[in-house]
Amino acid sequence: MDERVLGIIRIVHRYTTAEGELLQVRYVIIGILILGIFSGSLLGFFLALNIVKPVQQASEAIENLALRAHRDKLSLQGPDEIRSLERSVNLLVDRLNNLEQARRLLLANLVHDLGNQKRRCGLDPN
């Protein structure tokens, strides 16, 4: 190989051109940042709306249990944590319904036994 100089390339990049390119990149970055914030906020808003309904249903069911209003089971919906809460509420509803049924059966048996005891002692004219 011959080590002769064939030519010289001179690269010149002006400061004003570099500054303009940096400004363009800055605007692109700001635009992407604003788009990301907007889309993240929108996604967060929709996710929050999606989770509010099951949480409200679970809290209303718990409040109704505390007030002894009605004991309806909840449908399992929403994320895993909410479904776990709804399962717990449903177990509580089942337990309270079973206790109420046992209480009524015990009261009916008690009334029946008292009636039989009254007849055996001769206190009942019938």
pLDDT for position 13: 62
Compute the Cα dihedral for 73, 76, 77, 83 and give only its sign.
Answer: positive
d(CA 77, CA 86): 8
Burial class (CB in 10 A: 0-12, 13-18, 19+), 74: buried
pLDDT for position 41: 96
d(CA 57, CA 83): 11
Q: Tell me the whole-structure pTM to 2 decimals.
A: 0.51
Neighbours of 80 (CB within 10 A): 7
What one-character DSSP code corresponds to residue 68? Answer: T
Reading the chain (126 residues) residue by residue, the pLDDT tens digits are 578 877 777 777 666 676 778 888 999 999 999 999 999 999 999 988 888 887 887 788 778 777 776 667 777 777 788 888 888 888 888 888 888 899 999 999 988 888 888 777 776 655
